[in-house]
């Protein structure tokens, strides 16, 4: 590890380098010019484990050098010793404020130099090792999180696939809803990780339909009032399936399953929640779900024209839907049209 030595008098540098001789892993590099020393620091900051600078130098004294050195990226925490014959407290206080780590009085004792320099080099080596360990731990945590996220996504996709066996329209529907939901959440200013979790959790919003009889779920034509009552139970059934998990993702999915049919005006189901009583995930998915349901052909209805579905959302903002969610959906309208135009796979990958 390099030890930078700076003194405008060449003989002083020779004496300092000689005093450092014998320290393990210590390669002194001496300069008589502060400007050249700083240039070396900028180029080799990662290789320097200690700097020793004189105080009394022309053009730039030791305190000025320390301030300039501390401003160099990567050199903020490297120890710096200032050598001076001046024992004034004010000078030492100013040097400490500038970033000095230690002081050595002139004339110096070679044994003291070796002891102090060796201790500071050891401390710097320990600091670097701790920094490397922290970086390693951060990488390992990121890898572990990535594995967990991949497993969560795999389990969710398999769960959704199970529902698809009951309703062949479910697969494409849930992934379109997931993409619409993510677009809205991003425009509402939600954090990136929550947006990711929302998109994945939203794919389970209709998981409760697994408990709806085929005769109702796949019926062609309008449902009777009794059949509507049965199918509306899917919100509570979905919550019952997903509740109680220790996973944040599944907890969010349970919340969405229970609340995506609530209405802003309080006339929804299953609990009749109103306004911000409805969880944000449910409000977002409620908009995405209705829009996709309107624009998709089902056994009991034809698909609506896109502009009619768009008009429906706008006209029902503040009654059925959270106005902010509708506004966010409209802000993403060009992307919505691209998803509907067959570019869903590319939008999901992006």
DSSP three-state, residue 6? strand
Using a pLDDT cut of 90, give the percent of the chain over it: 55
Is the model's pLDDT at 185 over the cut of 80?
yes
pLDDT value of position 291: 96
CATH number, domain containing residue 284: 1.10.3210.10
Write out the two tokens for 329: 């959906």
**Phi, psi (rounded to 5 degrees) for 6:** -130, 120
- DSSP tag of 301: B
Range of weakest confidence among 97-111, 137-151, 205-219: 137-151
- Of the pLDDT bands very low, low, confident and very high (cuts 50, 70, 90), residue 166 is low
Which three-class secondary structure state does DSSP give residue 52? strand
Q: 307 pLDDT exceeds 60?
A: yes
Q: How many helices (H) and strands (E) does the chain have?
A: 16, 5
Residue 245 and residue 314 in one domain: yes
Final residue belonging to a domain, choices 120, 136, 152: 136
- pLDDT recorded at residue 343: 43
Residue 145 lies in a domain: no
Residue 177 and residue 108 share a domain = no
- Listed in sequence order, the residues at least 6 apart from 5 whose beta carbon sits closer than 8 Å to its beta carbon are 13, 16, 17, 20, 28, 29, 30, 31, 52
With beta carbons less than 8 A apart as the criterion, state whether 260 and 237 touch: no
Q: Does the CA dihedral 282-284-290-292 come out positive or negative?
A: negative
Average pLDDT over residues 214-243: 84
* pLDDT for 10: 94
Other Cβ atoms closer than 10 A to 6: 30
Q: In this model, does residue 266 exceed pLDDT 90? A: yes
pLDDT at 162: 61
- Determine the average pLDDT of the residues in 188-202: 94
Q: Is residue 148 part of a domain?
A: no
Task: Pick the most confident of 101-105, 171-175, 263-267.
Answer: 263-267
pLDDT value of position 216:
76
d(CA 306, CA 176) in angstroms, rounded, equals: 15
Report the distance separating Cα 94 and Cα 13, nearest Å.
24
How large is the average pLDDT for residues 188-199?
A: 95
Mean predicted lDDT score pLDDT of the chain? 87
Which segment, 17-26, 132-141, 329-338, is predicted with the most confidence on average? 329-338
Pick the residue with more confidence: 257 or 215? 257
Residues 187, 189, 190: CA angle, nearest 5 degrees: 110
| Domain contains 297 | yes
The pLDDT, as a whole number, for residue 347 is 37
Indicate if the pLDDT at residue 191 is higher than 90: yes
Return d(Cα 96, Cα 241) in angstroms, integer.
63
Confidence band of 206 (pLDDT split at 50, 70, 90) = confident
Please tell me whether residues 305 and 252 are part of one structural domain: yes
Looking at the structure, do residues 126 and 219 belong to the same domain, yes or no? no
Separation between Cα atoms, residue 153 and residue 188, nearest integer Å:
24
- Which of 116, 136, 156 terminates a domain? The answer is 136
Do 182 and 311 sit in the same domain of this protein? yes
Q: Is 311 tagged catalytic?
A: no
Whether 142 is in a domain gets the answer no
Last residue of a domain, one of 84, 115, 136: 136
Backbone φ and ψ for 101, nearest 5 degrees, come out as -100, -35
Using 50, 70 and 90 to split pLDDT, how confident is the model at 346? very low
Residue 150 CA, chain-centre distance (Å), reads 17
pLDDT digits (tens, 9 = 90+) for 76-107: 889 999 998 877 788 888 999 999 999 988 88
Whether residues 176 and 126 fall in one domain: no
Question: Domain containing 66: what range?
Answer: 2-136
Instruction: Indicate if 205 and 335 belong to the same structural domain.
Output: yes
Q: In terms of domains, do 252 and 127 share one? A: no
pLDDT in the model for residue 137: 72
Domain identity same for 173 and 320: yes
Beta strand 102-105 with 48-54 is: unpaired
319 contact partners, CB below 8 Å, separation of at least 6 = 263, 264, 265
Q: Which residues contact 41 (CB under 8 A, 6 or more apart)?
A: 4, 48, 51, 69, 72, 75
Residue 167 has pLDDT above 50, yes or no: yes
Q: What is the DSSP letter of 29?
A: E
State the catalytic residue, choosing from 44, 143, 209, 271. 209
Is the domain of 127 the same as that of 181?
A: no
Average pLDDT over residues 253-257: 95
C-alpha span between 320 and 339 (Å, rounded)? 24
pLDDT of 350 reads 36
What's the CATH code of the domain at 18? 3.40.50.2300
Whether residue 159 lies inside any domain: the answer is: no
Q: Is 152 among the domain residues?
A: no
pLDDT of 119 over the 50 cut = yes
| Cα R_g (the chain), whole angstroms | 34
Q: What is the band of 221 on the pLDDT scale with cuts at 50, 70, 90?
A: confident
Give the number of C-alpha atoms closer than 13 A to the C-alpha of residue 35, restricted to the C-beta side: 2
Q: Into how many domains does the chain fold? A: 2
pLDDT for 38-57, tens place per residue?
999 999 988 999 999 999 89
Residue 197 sits in the same domain as residue 307: yes
Residues 321/286, Cβ–Cβ less than 8 Å: yes
92 belongs to a structural domain: yes
Domain membership flag for residue 144: no
Confidence of residue 157 (pLDDT cuts 50, 70, 90): low
Tokens of residue 55, six digits: 């105080």
Candidate from 26-35, 75-84, 274-283, 335-344 with smallest mean pLDDT = 335-344
Residues 173 and 86 in one domain: no
Confidence of residue 236 (pLDDT cuts 50, 70, 90): very high
């Amino acid at each position: 590890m390099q030890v930078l030595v700076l003194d405008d008098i060449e003989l002083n540098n020779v004496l300092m380098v000689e005093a450092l001789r014998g320290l393990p892993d210590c390669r002194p590099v001496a300069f008589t010019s502060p400007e050249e020393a700083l240039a070396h620091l900028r180029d080799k900051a990662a290789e320097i484990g200690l700097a020793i600078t004189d105080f009394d130098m022309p053009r730039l004294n030791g305190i000025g050098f320390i301030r300039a050195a501390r401003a160099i990226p990567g050199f903020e925490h490297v120890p710096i010793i200032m050598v001076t014959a001046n024992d004034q407290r004010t000078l030492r206080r100013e040097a400490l404020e500038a970033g000095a780590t230690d002081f050595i009085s002139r004339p110096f004792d070679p044994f003291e130099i070796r002891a102090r320099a060796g201790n500071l080099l050891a401390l710097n080596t320990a600091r670097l090792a701790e920094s490397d360990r922290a970086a390693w731990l951060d990488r390992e945590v990121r890898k572990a999180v990535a594995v967990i996220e991949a497993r969560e996504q795999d389990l969710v996709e398999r769960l959704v696939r199970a529902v698809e066996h009951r309703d062949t329209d479910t697969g494409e529907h849930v992934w379109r809803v997931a993409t619409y939901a993510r677009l809205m959440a991003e425009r509402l200013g939600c954090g990136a990780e929550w947006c990711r979790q929302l998109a994945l959790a939203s794919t389970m919003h209709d998981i409760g339909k697994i408990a709806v009889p085929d005769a109702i779920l796949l019926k062609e034509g309008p449902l009777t009032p009794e059949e509507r009552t049965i199918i509306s139970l899917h919100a509570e059934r979905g919550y019952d399936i997903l509740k109680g998990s220790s996973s944040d993702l599944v907890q969010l999915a349970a919340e969405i399953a229970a609340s995506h049919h609530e209405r802003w005006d309080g006339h929804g189901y299953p609990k009749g929640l109103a306004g911000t009583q409805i969880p944000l995930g449910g409000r977002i998915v409620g908009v995405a779900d209705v829009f996709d349901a309107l624009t998709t052909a089902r056994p009991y209805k034809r698909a609506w024209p896109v502009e009619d579905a768009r008009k429906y959302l706008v006209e029902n903002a503040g009654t059925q839907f959270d106005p902010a969610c509708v506004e966010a959906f409209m802000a993403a309208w060009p992307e919505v049209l691209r998803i509907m135009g067959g570019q869903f796979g590319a939008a999901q990958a992006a």
